[in-house]
A and B are shown apart, each in its own frame.
Chain A
Amino acid sequence: IQMAQSPSSLSASVGDRVTITCRASQDIKKYINWYQQKPGKAPKLLIYDASNLYTGIPSRFIGSGSGTDFTLTISSLQPEDLATYYCQHYENLLFFTFGPGTNVALK
């Protein structure tokens, strides 16, 4: 299963609504997670199983979708949200595929 992510990069202003899309090459139900990665750091889990907010993650991060099309929305971009975002699919709990990533920068 291939994961396509778009856009590959975007620039936005503080307070903007930002949307990142991940498309699977076949139906993956809700087996998708979203991560944030800042330079030189390990990725950080934001959303699991398409729409569940992980513990301690601000509510401005919203995940949605099922089947083949998924979205990560940042409802009001904050300066600390500048990072690269990855979707990740899992299959049978033991095989994993990451999307290519979306770099979010300040306009």
Chain B
Amino acid sequence: DTAVSQTPKYLVTQMGNDKSIKCEQNLGHDTMYWYKQDSKKFLKIMFSYNNKELIINETVPNRFSPKSPDKAHLNLHINSLELGDSAVYFCASSQFENEQFFGPGTRLTVL
């Protein structure tokens, strides 16, 4: 059973389009995150959600919006995609102050 899953695994799209990435965790964790990993491999936190409440909103463009329909899901919606949005996006979850479990990643390519 996959602990943290993401769909799709690959996403290729044109500039200006709107796209969504879905994330689900079956670990019962109460905090979920979205990270962006650029070509230099740096992992930058974008958002975290705790019990459906946004806790952190880092300095990311407001074209990015996280949506959490319930405790086990945290989706990422991106409007008006730009070339610089191309990266690998990782979802993660954790419980209390313990380790984070990462999803397999979604490789987004904006043409």
- Asked if A and B bind, the verdict is no
